[in-house]
Structure 1
Amino acid sequence: MATIYEVSKLAGVSLATVSRVMNNNTPVRESTRNKVLAAMAQLDYRPNSIAQSLASNRSNSIGILVSELHGPFYGAMLTGIEAEFRAAGKHVIIAAGHSERATEQDGIEFLLSRNCDALILHVEAVTDQYLLELSKQEVPFVLLNRHIAALAERCISLDNELGGYLAAHYLLQQGHRHIAYIAGPMWKTDARDRFAGHQRALAEYQLTADSELFYEGDFRETGGSKGLQWLLDSGRPFSAVVCGNDEMASGALTAARELGYEVPADFSVIGFDNVNFAYYTYPKLSTIDYPISAMGQMAARWVLRQVYQHSSIDVQQVFDPHLICRDSVAEASIT
């Protein structure tokens, strides 16, 4: 098996230069880098990652804990994170917490046991106090889609309240006054914040949310379809439905079609997230853009800046949502 010394000799450079090329942590002249890489290829040299970790006190791996692994929302998040780290020569280890406190804590402990240099955490069930205690440990972490005032410098978050406001305000501008709401699980902060924004928009029009037109869903398609059926069964008139995310909105659109209703002729529907399928639903879904891929990239940049000393990187910590107008919302036919 070839050694780093043989690579150094064949390339005609120092051991330190070979090390810099392998670790990709210090600028090296391109011609020199190419000589080292050519020597490594000729000798079929593979760096020993364990030895590298011991020598540098870095594993060049980052642990990522997300709520789920399925669905376009988490796919976009993970893609943004992984692409940023791959460009920097780092690798990721991924675990899922399934929005359960014990599972999230177990996932964090697993990632810590893998000698990760840092963690990116998309967690919903662990308490703020648990995260405050975790912040006292050696391994740094950044929180994605969560804001804790005492850990503000570690948070990459979205203004969910503003997003809820924008969705409702758009419907109100279109003349809607009887607005139904299919929420995400209300124990989740983002679901509560979105509904709070919804209520703020209604208040500007001297309206309040109708409790008989409120259904608590699960952020999944089934929650949207069941929610729409429940709203229709209630017998209460409504001209628009706000859904807490696009998955539930797509479920509501499917249920409406199966039950013989036409959107937006019979009622309008708006979602939240702007995931990739929102453009391909029928009708195309009006929604609130949640730049989760960019936020994932920013979480990765936070790690690169804080852990790997990429000091030239700028980090944006709070993102604003934006209204996306498509075909599922029309002017109100009832007031």
Structure 2
Amino acid sequence: MATIYEVSKLAGVSLATVSRVMNNNKNVSDATREKVTLAMTELGYRPNSIAQSLATNCSNSVGLLVSELHGPFYGPMMSGIENSFRNQGKHVIIAAGHSNAEREQQGIEFLISRNCDGLILHVEAVSDDYLIALSKGPTPFVLLNRLIPALADRCIILNNRKGGYLATQHVLEQGHRDIAYISGPLWKADAKDRLAGHKLALSEYGSRFDESLLYQGDFMEDSGYQGFLQLHRSTTQFSALICANDEMATGAMIAARECGLQLPEQLSIMGYDNVFFTRHVYPPLTTINYPINEMGQMAANWILSKVYNKGEQPTHTLFEPQLVVRQSITKRSS
């Protein structure tokens, strides 16, 4: 196996110059960079990233912990983050926490053990105290979709309470008053905040929140399917259904059709997230836009700025949701 010394000799430059080329140092002329690159190619030399990390105290890798590795929500988020770092010559190591405190902690410790220069954490189950203690350690991190007041400057969040409000406000404005709701797991802050926004909109329009029209799902399509069936079997009638994410809304649409309902004529359905497939279901789903790509890029910018001194510092950490009107909500005749 070729060594850095052989590369230095073949290129006719010093070891320090070869090192600067490998670490993308800008203080190297294009001609010298080309000589070193050609020598590395001719010799089949591959830099040892671990040795580089030890020598420079920089691994050029960033850890990303997400709840799941599948689904229409996390895929675009991971892709956007990875692209932001790839454009800056950094690589992303990904782990999943599965909304479980022990697994999330294991994932964080794994990423730290891989000498990641910084972390982006989409965690839901580990405690605030654990994250506050982690913030005092040597590895910088930024939180996505999690607000801890003591760490507010590193929390990039969506105003989910407003999102829940906007969803229900739109349904109410179409004349619906008997409204069912499928929530996410209510131990999760985002699910709780969306439900709180739903209740606020109802109260402002003089409508009572009916516990019998609430089903607690798990953000997966099947819980939307099962949730609709349970609500449909209830003696309480409803003309509209609001779901706390698009996957559950899709499951509810499937179940409603299997029960013989015409959409949206006999049942209006609202989603949340605005994932890619919402434009293609029938009827196209009215939903709340969750700008997760922009939030992921903001998290990447936080790391690039704080850890690598690259680019501008993040300008804001609170993102606002927006209503996306399509055809799944129909006006209720009086």
TM-score higher than 0.5 here?
yes
Take 2:231 and 2:30, find their aligned partners in 1: how far apart are those partners? 64
CA RMSD of aligned residues (A): 1.7
| Aligned residue identity for 1:276 | F
**Structure 1 match to 2:253:** 253
User: What are the superposed Cα offsets for residues 178-204 of structure 1, whole Å, 9 maximum, x if unpaired?
Assistant: 111100000000000011111121222
Take 2:194 and 2:24, find their aligned partners in 1: how far apart are those partners? 42
User: What are the superposed Cα offsets for residues 286-331 of structure 1, whole Å, 9 maximum, x if unpaired?
Assistant: 1111111221122111111111111535453121111111111111
Deviates more, 1:179-188 or 1:318-327: 318-327
1:17 and 1:199, CA in 2 relative to 1: closer, same or farther beyond 3 A?
farther
Residue-pair matches, total = 334
User: What are the superposed Cα offsets for residues 201-241 of structure 1, whole Å, 9 maximum, x if unpaired?
Assistant: 12221223211111111101111011111111112121111
User: What are the superposed Cα offsets for residues 147-206 of structure 1, whole Å, 9 maximum, x if unpaired?
Assistant: 111101111111111111111111111111111110000000000001111112122212
**Structure 1 match to 2:136:** 136
| Partner SS state of residue 73, structure 2 | helix
**Structure 2 match to 1:281:** 281
1:31 and 1:140, CA in 2 relative to 1: closer, same or farther beyond 3 A?
same
User: What are the superposed Cα offsets for residues 116-136 of structure 1, whole Å, 9 maximum, x if unpaired?
Assistant: 111111111111111111111
- 1:235-254 counterparts in 2 under 5 A? 235-254=235-254
1:207 maps onto 2:203 in alignment: no
| Partner SS state of residue 92, structure 2 | strand
Deviates more, 1:281-290 or 1:25-34: 25-34
| Aligned residue identity for 1:309 | N
TM-score with structure 2 setting the length: 0.94
**Structure 1 match to 2:56:** 56
Take 2:196 and 2:25, find their aligned partners in 1: how far apart are those partners? 45
Take 1:186 and 1:257, find their aligned partners in 2: how far apart are those partners? 27
Paired-residue identity, %: 62
| 1:62–1:92 Cα contact (<8 Å) kept | yes
**Structure 2 match to 1:269:** 269
Tell me, which stretches of 5 or more residues in structure 1 are unaligned?
A: none
Take 2:173 and 2:263, find their aligned partners in 1: how far apart are those partners? 18
User: What are the superposed Cα offsets for residues 245-298 of structure 1, whole Å, 9 maximum, x if unpaired?
Assistant: 011000001111111111110011011111111111121111111111221122
Take 1:83 and 1:298, find their aligned partners in 2: how far apart are those partners? 12
| Partner SS state of residue 72, structure 1 | coil
| Aligned residue identity for 1:24 | N
Take 2:248 and 2:27, find their aligned partners in 1: how far apart are those partners? 48
| 1:182–1:217 Cα contact (<8 Å) kept | yes
Take 2:253 and 2:85, find their aligned partners in 1: how far apart are those partners? 37
| 2:301–2:312 Cα contact (<8 Å) kept | no
| 1:167–1:270 Cα contact (<8 Å) kept | yes
1:270 and 1:29, CA in 2 relative to 1: closer, same or farther beyond 3 A?
farther
**Structure 2 match to 1:166:** 166
- 1:166-185 counterparts in 2 under 5 A? 166-185=166-185
TM-score with structure 1 setting the length: 0.94
| Partner SS state of residue 181, structure 1 | strand
Take 1:76 and 1:64, find their aligned partners in 2: how far apart are those partners? 13
1:162 and 1:33, CA in 2 relative to 1: closer, same or farther beyond 3 A?
farther
Take 1:168 and 1:28, find their aligned partners in 2: how far apart are those partners? 58
| 1:286–1:326 Cα contact (<8 Å) kept | yes
| 1:301–1:315 Cα contact (<8 Å) kept | no
| Aligned residue identity for 2:287 | T
| 1:63–1:119 Cα contact (<8 Å) kept | yes
| Partner SS state of residue 62, structure 1 | strand
| Partner SS state of residue 269, structure 1 | strand
1:220 maps onto 2:220 in alignment: yes
